[in-house]
Copies of this chain bind each other. A is one copy, B any other.
Amino acid sequence: MSHNINHQIRLAARPVGLPKRSDWQFTEEAVPQPGDGQLLVKVQYLSLDPAMRGWMNEGKSYIPPVGIGEVMRAGAVGRVVASKHPKFAVGDHVVGTFGVQEYALSDGKGVNKVDPKLAPLPVYLGTLGMPGMTAYFGLLDVGELKSGDTVVVSGAAGAVGTVVGQIAKIKGCRVVGIAGGADKCAWIVNDLGFDAAIDYKTDDLKKALREHCPKGIDVYFDNVGGDILDAALTQLARGARIVICGAISQYNNTTPVKGPSNYLSLLVNRASMKGMVVFDYADRYAEAAREMAGWMMAGKLKSREDIVEGLETFPETLLKLFKGENTGKLVLKIAGD
């Protein structure tokens, strides 16, 4: 791709069900030049997140939807290639919401420098990025994790789930991961140190939860919703906390969301179900990143990225999330260094 052209992917239509190629529009523009107080970022890696599906829908949510015709919103990491911003210099590596495009102009708001010597760039989109922050604050703050708790996490082999499970182990908990497929299940137990894994595609979920959580579930960290949330509700311990982080099983529904039929288990078990949005913890990201970087250095927290190459593959690559085809953080590589 030419250095003078900025290839972009814009939202062309609000998807019904899984986003199709025709829901996207491929555009190209001249690479813009920064004005005063702006910087130009060459995007190197794009973060692909389940939440992107929600941003494509009309309606009130925790942030406004992406407008039709707008460049699709996405977190990304890149390199500053031009700057008239006092805080950023050419050559700096930065993370921010740069969108699904090759070059992004920014006023620096919400943009943070990262150090590629401390961790590979894609890690700043995963374990040291939003998914890691989500896991950290969701588990410790919303989930009120205590040592000795039995923790169950769904989407356990995903960007958030892998971090949730490992932090829970660091904090002295019993950890059971729910994932799809034998490979993912083996990986989270053998490589990440989970105590047990449940393959939701083949195992009897309720039976497996009973077996692996003999004292019940103290913290259930839910990334998926649907039947898995309902099964977890049947195995709660007294005073359990359910963290509602996401519901990837429901994001492409063309029928109404499946509500948790077993929610009255909250009453029987004096349990709570609480929603979270990671942005609320922005003023504590640095603190969390420091602690997590320390765990990574000490070999207690492993990070894995599932890297696909090429901006043009974005429409199909995004679907890997909803088909459960990624292991670890799904990242789209746009450019080398």
Contact = CB atoms under 8 A, between A and B. Distances in A.
Interface of A: 60-62, 225, 230, 244-247, 250, 256-277, 280
Contact of A267 (B269, B270, B276): B276
A268 B272 contact: no
9 contacts: A244-B264, A247-B264, A257-B263, A259-B261, A259-B263, A270-B274, A270-B280, A271-B274, A272-B274
A167 B42 CA distance: 59
A273 B270 CA distance: 10
Contact of A272 (B60, B257, B275): B275
A228 to B, nearest CB: 13
Number of copies: 2
B266 A244 contact: yes
A268 B275 contact: yes
Nearest to A260: B259
A266 B257 contact: no
Contacts of A267: 62, 244-247, 275-277
Contact of A250 (B62, B245, B264, B277): B264
A127 B25 CA distance: 63
Given A270-B277, A275-B271, A257 B247 contact: no
A203 to B, nearest CB: 22
A268 B230 contact: no
Contacts of A258: 259, 261
Contacts of A266: 244, 273-275
A151 to B, nearest CB: 19
A270 B275 contact: yes
Interface centre among A256, A267, A269 (most CB of B within 10 A): A267
A272 B270 contact: no
Contacts of A245: 267
A-B complex: 8 closest residue pairs judged by Cβ atoms: A259-B259, A267-B275, A266-B275, A272-B274, A259-B261, A259-B260, A273-B273, A257-B261
Nearest to A59: B268
A266 B263 CA distance: 13
Given A259-B230, A259-B258, A259-B259, A268 B277 contact: yes
Given A62-B267, A257-B261, A258-B261, 13 more contacts: A62-B268, A246-B267, A247-B267, A256-B261, A257-B264, A260-B260, A263-B273, A264-B275, A270-B276, A270-B280, A272-B272, A272-B274, A273-B273
A257 B246 contact: no
A274 B266 CA distance: 6
B269 A275 contact: yes
